[in-house]
Amino acid sequence: MLRLAHVTKRFGATLAVDDVSLDIGPGEIVGLVGENGAGKTTLMRMAAGEIATDSGTIDVEGTVELVHQHFMLVGDFTIAENLALWGVTSESPLPDPSRKVNDLSVGEKANLELAKAIGRNPRLLILDEPTSVLTPVETDELFRVMREIASRGTAVVFISHKLPEVLAIAQRIVVMRRGKIVALTTAAEMTAAQLAEAMMGTMPSGAPAVSAGDARRGRRALHLSSLTGARIDHVTLTVHQNEIVAIVGVAGNGQDELAAMLRGLVKPKSGAIEISGSVGHIPPDRTRDGLVAQMTIAENMALPSPRWSRAAAIRHAAQLIELYSIRARGPLQRAGGLSGGNQQKVILARELDRRPEVLVASEPTRGLDIESTRFVHAQLRAAAAAGAAVLVITSDLDEAFALAHAIQVIYRGRLSERMSAGEAASRVGGLMAGVA
């Protein structure tokens, strides 16, 4: 049906899919799970022929249809016109096909998108996060349709973040992490908690890398009380000097809003943020929010400073490049030309150089190679040792266990109680999957 052998894909310096092999048979429903950037969508776009592989082979029998996360519908056309545009002659799945797509509910649009794909009789149907916009009733209906087309011999790949759903529908589950398949099991063998752990990192086998006793805790430096916004719900949290606290969770549970609120870019609906002293920030989306790609390293490093002189900025940047072993041609190189790891080092150098009392680091090592990851971790530990209160917001469990003195899990905008790494080891999987 679909046979992937040693498929690899790079985007610039990032290895999006790394030597993946996978077989899918007719009539099978396969759940494909993994964090953002794990390579799920890239892999499936290659299977559907939307993008080329760098190496490896893909054999497909028959046609493949990929239903994207974002709707690909013409809003000003009617339901019937949209189906016709895709060459689908089968009956409309929705009543009154003369309605315009703009007037449909989100669930109806999703339904139409699905009908578009099924109408072309694919042998393999790939659904990318189809339930993210659906109500529970609509999701049940989608699952009914999926089972029906699978019973007719079409293989279905279901990409999702929502672990209970994957467990409910899929016969086989493929877990991807950092471009590789890290687990491949039947649904019956796995619990949601185990799935979450596989997605986000291996559980520590022995003692945690950092124990709660390690921190010579100083005074309270960051305190959130009942912070509430559109996607976070009564978040209460304290970070002391010399301490690293990690918030872990599957992406999309409110982490980005929390980070933006701490930066002052989003106003909380209620609750308060108390910070003593200055704050450094490492933004979650490095390419969009981290650096100004068109400007030089020196200029980027100087952006937050209260004063600016070109000559001093260049001298200072040269020192930081040396200190943080940034691989660059010099302070006047454009930031956009650096690799992801070196861009992150530039941000880290800029934020840590101000010796902030509080550091908020969101996904500080997402997409970085092992060497850069180690470097970033060492810098975060050093900052804490020097007295900073460090809050790490991450979807990488390994990272949380490697760094944090205390761990709190975020799920649907709510924060679990504070746990030591030892306590967290047994509970974190369930909390992240929302089953504990």
CA distances 326 to 108, 115, 129, 314, Å, are: 50, 51, 37, 14
Measured distance CA(173)–CA(163) in Å, rounded: 10
Dihedral angle computed from the Cα positions of residues 48, 49, 53 and 56, in that order, rounded to the nearest 10 degrees = 70
CB of 50 to another protein, least distance (A): 27
For 407, residues 6+ apart whose C-beta sits below 8 A from its C-beta are 245, 246, 247, 248, 400, 401, 418, 419, 420, 421, 424, 428
Show the tokens assigned to 111: 């339904």
d(CA 286, CA 309): 26
Rg, the chain, Cα only: 24
Cβ neighbours around 150 below 10 Å, total: 18
Q: What are phi and psi of 79, to 5 degrees?
A: -55, -50
Closest distance of CB 359 from another protein, Å: 14
Closest separation in Å from C-beta 297 to another protein: 13
Residue 292 or 386: which CB sits closer to another protein? 292
Q: How far is the CB of 80 from another protein (least distance, A)?
A: 34
Tokens representing 33? 């799970």
d(CA 159, CA 142): 13
In 35-107, the DSSP E strands lie at 55-60, 64-67
- Nearest approach, Cβ of 365 to another protein (angstroms)? 18
- Map 361-402 to HEC letters: EECCCCCCCHHHHHHHHHHHHHHHHCCCEEEEEECCHHHHHH
Residues at the site binding another protein, with contacts judged by CB under 8 A? 263, 265, 281, 283, 288-295, 299-300, 302-310, 334, 350
Closer of 144 and 288 to another protein (Cβ): 288
When the beta carbons of 158 and 324 are compared against another protein, the nearer one is 324
Nearer Cβ to another protein (275/436): 275
Q: How far is the CB of 37 from another protein (least distance, A)?
A: 19
Closer of 302 and 428 to another protein (Cβ): 302
CB of 162 to another protein, least distance (A): 28
CB 400 within 8 A of CB 174: no
Residue 293 or 382: the one with the smaller Cβ distance to another protein is 293
What CA–CA distances, in Å, run from 395 to 171, 247, 387?
Answer: 26, 8, 25
Minimum distance, C-beta of residue 324 to another protein, in the bound complex (Å): 17
> Residue 214 CB, nearest distance to another protein (Å)?
30
Q: Which residues pair with 127 in a beta bridge?
A: 67, 158
- The SS3 call for residue 429 is helix
DSSP 71: -
- Cα 107 from Cα 8, distance rounded (Å): 35
Closer by beta carbon to another protein, 109 or else 350: 350
DSSP classification of residue 337: G
Q: How far is the CB of 232 from another protein (least distance, A)?
A: 19
